[in-house]
Amino acid sequence: MRLSHYFLPTLKENPGEAQIVSHRLMLRTGMIFQASSGIYAWLPMGRRVLRKIEQIVREEQDRAGAQEILMPTIQSADLWRESGRYDAYGEEMLRIADRHEREMLYSPTAEELVTDIARKHIKSYRDVPKMMYQIQWKFRDEIRPRFGVMRGREFLMKDCYSFDLDYEGALVSYRKMLEAYIKTFSRMGLTAIPVKADSGAIGGDLSQEFQVLAATGESLIFYDRALDEIVRQGGVVDVDRLMSLYAAEEGLHDPHICKVPQDQLKTARGIEVGHIFYFATKYSDPFKASVVGKNGESITLHMGSYGIGVSRLVGALIEANHDENGIIWPEAVAPFTVGLLNLKPGDGKCDALCEDIYHKLLTQKVEVLYDDRNERAGAKFANMDLIGLPWQIRVGARTLETGKIEIKYRRTGEIQELSLESALNYLKERVGA
């Protein structure tokens, strides 16, 4: 993509309304546009990042055996009356009437609809286990939308639902999702700690929230240091060991009954990017979602639901990856991998060399944003640092003299001078292109 052609409406000044760094940087880099309170349009660069995140989430859901579906955002109030949530949900639910005065709503989550699908189509014990997920917009009329996409009113969520015969089966599904979540966040270069969640009155003890550590996080969390180590390890996740830590975590909020040794205990602020939850027959009971068992008996389905805040993740990723100059995208979610800077635009030789590099990168399937604009070098450097692409290739007067180009790694600021050929080889190795 040529920057002269790209729609990247960056701002010079820090927008006054943004209180936290991710919101500021998303507005400054022209990733999003506020349409109304808590509702955003995603502009080209923001859309690219959102897509990358979606894709990682999708791949790990598929790998866990979940199947992608797509449910409507607008749903009938009648369905929500069956679970009792039409009244219980309160002011956060956006209620709409159609032209026939039928009550509709914009879905804040989708347990009701997916349970309706299950009761009509999952009939026999042979039809389970099943896991189904969607990546779809949700609406919650949050009382105080804030921090940009972190707490929006309209936001993109991955929501998955599992159906099993009994607790044991549901536990297997739950553990698959737990593992998928650890992989998902670690592929994005994030450390997300699975802390025990308040599961409220229903559902027993199987509920965990994934928290990305950040000073601006809205949740105060307590956890065993060992959890942190497990999620940072990467590779194969030891789910047994991880689950065994929660017994110890019990009572962490009360230092008098805390069983975790003080030197193992960590306290931090976190951004909730995911939530997994087993809730037994909470919805299948009122919906009569049951199957016929081996001996002809009726078995009520056991369900779990598993959410990821896909659009919130964009903010969380920036909170965890930035410096005073701007964003530092982890490679897996970067909008482009390489920024190519022409520092002598208009110079025939420099232009030709840049064109050559641009086309070579495209041929190697490296995603490249080529700054071909007629701008000062200083402005180009600042802009590239601001938008935070992992690699910068700088071509200018020096290149024409020495034949060497500069490669800068945004995360460390390290700059190497290499011949064109070794630079391309180097990138090929580092980005696996």
Q: How far is the CB of 291 from Mg ion (least distance, A)?
A: 29
Q: How far is the CB of 155 from ligand ATP (least distance, A)?
A: 4
Q: Which is nearer to ligand ATP, 223 or 358 (CB)?
A: 223
Considering only 194, 270, 304, 307, the residue that binds ligand ATP (CB under 6 A) is: 307
Binding of ligand ATP at residue 60 (CB under 6 A)? Answer: no
| Residue 381 identity (one-letter amino acid) | F
402-406-409 Cα angle (round to 5): 165
Looking only at residues 112 through 131 of this chain, which bind ligand ATP when binding is defined by CB under 6 A? none
Q: Which is nearer to ligand ATP, 182 or 424 (CB)?
A: 182
Using CB distances below 5 to 8 A depending on partner kind, what does residue 307 bind out of ligand ATP, Mg ion, none? ligand ATP
Binding of ligand ATP at residue 23 (CB under 6 A)? Answer: no
Binding of ligand ATP at residue 155 (CB under 6 A)? Answer: yes
Q: How far is the CB of 64 from ligand ATP (least distance, A)?
A: 17
CA distance 62 to 64: 5
Beta strands 207-213; 192-196: pairing state: antiparallel
| Residue 145 identity (one-letter amino acid) | P
Considering only 85, 183, 275, 344, the residue that binds ligand ATP (CB under 6 A) is: 275
Q: What are phi and psi of 92, to 5 degrees?
A: -70, -15
Closest CA to 22 of 289, 302, 327, 299: 327
Sign of the dihedral defined by the CA atoms of residues 121, 126, 131, 134, in that order: negative
Binding of ligand ATP at residue 54 (CB under 6 A)? Answer: no
Considering only 309, 335, 339, 396, the residue that binds ligand ATP (CB under 6 A) is: 309
Binding of ligand ATP at residue 142 (CB under 6 A)? Answer: yes
Helix 167-187 and helix 225-233, axial crossing angle in degrees, nearest 10: 70
Q: What are phi and psi of 171, to 5 degrees?
A: -65, -35
| Residue 357 identity (one-letter amino acid) | I
Binding of ligand ATP at residue 151 (CB under 6 A)? Answer: yes
Q: Is residue 408 within 8 Å of residue 427, measured between CB atoms?
A: no
Beta strands 265-280; 219-224: pairing state: antiparallel
Stretch that binds ligand ATP, among 14-22, 305-313, 334-342, 345-353 (CB under 6 A): 305-313
CA distance 249 to 301: 30
CA distance 194 to 180: 12
Q: How far is the CB of 140 from ligand ATP (least distance, A)?
A: 5
Which tokens go with 255?
């230092």
Q: 3-class SS at 65?
A: coil
Using CB distances below 5 to 8 A depending on partner kind, what does residue 163 bind out of Mg ion, ligand ATP, none? none
- The alpha carbon of residue 350 and the mean position of all alpha carbons in its chain are separated, in whole angstroms, by 39
> Which residue number has the CB closest to ligand ATP?
309
Q: How far is the CB of 268 from ligand ATP (least distance, A)?
A: 16
Q: What are phi and psi of 259, to 5 degrees?
A: -100, -5
Binding of Mg ion at residue 275 (CB under 5 A)? Answer: yes
Using CB distances below 5 to 8 A depending on partner kind, what does residue 326 bind out of Mg ion, ligand ATP, none? none
> Binding residues for ligand ATP, how many (CB under 6 A)?
15
Q: Give me the residues that bind Mg ion (CB under 5 A), please.
A: 275
> What residues make contact with ligand ATP under the rule CB under 6 A?
109, 140, 142, 151-152, 155, 157, 272-275, 307, 309, 311-312
